[in-house]
Amino acid sequence: MQTVRWRLFQTAGKIVRHGRRVYLKISAAMLDTFSAIRERCALVMQEGGAVPETS
C-alpha cells in the first residue's frame, strides 16, 4: 500500500472543478499507472475488501 500511496503523492497533477464535478488531470505517461491501480482496487472490492474491520 505504501508504494501506491507514494506513487500518487509523487505524481504531478491538477485538480479541476467543472460542472459540479471534480477531475484529476494527469500526464499521459501516468495513465497506465492509474489504470492499473483502478483495476487492482476493483478486484479487491469484488473479493470483499482488503482490510478486515477491527474494534
Q: What is the pLDDT of residues 1-55, one digit of tens each?
A: 577 677 777 777 888 999 999 988 888 888 888 888 889 888 888 887 656 565 5
Instruction: Name all contacts of 3-8 with Cβ < 8 Å and 24+ positions apart.
Output: 4/37, 7/33, 7/37, 8/37
Question: What's the pLDDT at 53?
Answer: 60
In angstroms, the CA 28 to CA 35 distance is 11
Let me know: does 50 contact 40? Beta carbons within 8 Å: no
Q: Could you tell me the residue ranges of all domains in the chain?
A: 2-46
Whole-Å CA distances, 53 to 20, 42, 49: 33, 19, 10
Question: What's the pLDDT at 24?
Answer: 83
